[in-house]
Amino acid sequence: MGSPVPPRSRIGGGALLALGIVIGAVGSATGGYVATRSTTPVDPAGAATATARPVTVISAPASDVVVDVVNELLPTVVTVINRLPNGQAQSSGSGFVLDAVRGYLVTNNHVVENVRDTNAGASFDVIFSDNRVVKGAKLIGRDDKTDIAVLQVPPDGLRAATLANSDDVPVGSTVVAIGSALGELQNTVTTGIVSAKGRRVPETDTVVLEDLIQTDAAINEGNSGGPLIWAATKKVIGMNTLVNRQAGSEGLGFSISSNTVRDISNELIKSGKIERGAIGIAYTLLTPRAAAALGLPAQTQGVIVGQVLAGSAAAQAGLRANDVVTKINDQQIDGSHPISSILLHTRPGDKVKITIIRDGKQQSVDVTLGRQS
């Protein structure tokens, strides 16, 4: 097949090129970085998977923690094949079983997206570590803001991974990543450490992923959606998603924290979508020049309200045009912490305290959030 232009490349090229970020689903190459889609995606009927062999469980010495992790967790890891309406495989990635009783799997949203747009693929096949193939997995829901998607397969002979509390894992902990590297190399295992926590990385020009775990475990194309496992507990602390391949950088992989995976997947299973809270304002980032024009110190950070939408939460709370919004709850608003990111984990009906500057005076306004359209 040809070299389709992936939506993450087209939409987010600026952000991705700036960081040299690779989204870890198999992908076509464009420009100076590797994109998210493959010109030769894995096909269950093709040679790529026909040559893959089930992994034999081998007893390991008590000291070989990584082997123990692989023996226990490998059966929970899957390959996801994303197909076009004509049945052609357009991309592939990884995933893992979240709920063995109900048959729920989790993967990245960008694994289940179309190559040329942000719609979902037409159908999905799931390949297990023993080469068992389940065709026609059901897409339960997906969320582009956190890059998480949930699929469902018949709950026959499944084994689920356990999500840890990602806040508990110490920096420096040994971790294991499992996935389908390059789309063809199923059951690939790499190891490393937790390099840092709480990272924010732009995935596209409009999506910034929050609360990421940074690791030096090798994450390659095709690993998207696979688990990052805390070796000491044999529990999943993250979903592998991005890798930085900027010139001169090594060992900069990023995983969505298991706490985010848990919260978003539970809501997708319950509702099929994520509804987030909205204030109901149009705004622009406050610049030093704009601050000076309003008689404020040049270092003042926030946004200027340009319009308050009629009937919105902001209108009901009494916000006005030309108000300067500086904080939501205790979070400062600035270029690194935009309103959209701050509201990421809010829901309609949540109450927030908004700090504003009006006519040079600071005050607080309580706002009950509405629903994002």
253-262: per-residue pLDDT in tens? 999 999 999 9
Contacts of 62 (CB under 8 A, 6+ apart): none
CA distances from 240 to 219, 229, 284 (A): 7, 10, 33
Higher-confidence residue of 202 and 31: namely 202
Q: What is the pLDDT averaged over residues 48-53?
A: 46
Please, which pLDDT band fits residue 202 given cuts at 50, 70 and 90? Answer: confident
Q: What single-letter DSSP state applies at residue 158?
A: -
pLDDT at 200: 86
Check residue 250 and give its pLDDT.
67
In CATH terms, 1-274 corresponds, of 2.60.40.1510, 3.60.20.10, 2.40.10.120, 3.40.640.10, to: 2.40.10.120
Of the CATH numbers 3.90.550.10, 2.10.240.10, 2.30.42.10, 3.65.10.10, which one belongs to the domain with range 277-371? 2.30.42.10
**pLDDT tens-digit series, residues 18-30:** 334 455 555 433 3
pLDDT digits (tens, 9 = 90+) for 229-242: 999 999 999 999 98
- What integer pLDDT is reported at residue 25 of this predicted model? 59
Q: Specify the range with the lowest mean pLDDT, choosing from 102-116, 163-177, 195-209.
A: 195-209
Angle at 238 between CA 272 and CA 144, to 5 degrees: 35
Decide: 108 and 149 in contact? Cβ < 8 Å.
Answer: yes
Which pairing describes strands 208-215 and 89-99: parallel, antiparallel, or unpaired?
unpaired
| Domain ranges within the chain, ordered by starting residue | 1-274, 277-371
- Give the DSSP H/E element, type plus range, for residue 83: strand 77-83
Instruction: Take residue 10 and report the two structure tokens written for it.
Output: 């087209």
| CA-wise closest residue to 151 among 236, 46, 225 | 225
Given the residues 129, 195, 224, 257, select the one marked as catalytic. 224
Reduce the DSSP state of residue 59 to 3 states and report it: coil
> Does the annotation mark 110 as catalytic?
yes
d(CA 135, CA 124): 7
Residue 143: φ, ψ to 5°: -140, 110
* Range with the largest mean pLDDT of 249-253, 270-274, 332-336: 270-274
**Cβ-based neighbour number of residue 284 at 10 Å:** 10
Q: Specify whether 147 is catalytic.
A: yes
| Amino acid identity at 25 | A
Position 335 scores a pLDDT of 78
**pLDDT category, 341, cuts 50, 70, 90?**
confident
Identify the band that residue 324 occupies on the pLDDT scale cut at 50, 70 and 90.
Answer: very high
Residue written as tokens 């090798």?
218
Distance CA 190, CA 182 (A): 14
Active site residue 336: no
Query: Which member of 147, 166, 255, 257 is catalytic?
Result: 147
Give the whole-angstrom CA distance, residue 206 versus residue 16.
Answer: 11
Mean pLDDT of 185-195: 90
Catalytic residue among 110, 125, 129, 166: 110
Q: What is the pLDDT of residue 185?
A: 79
pLDDT in tens, 52-69: 555 555 555 555 899 999
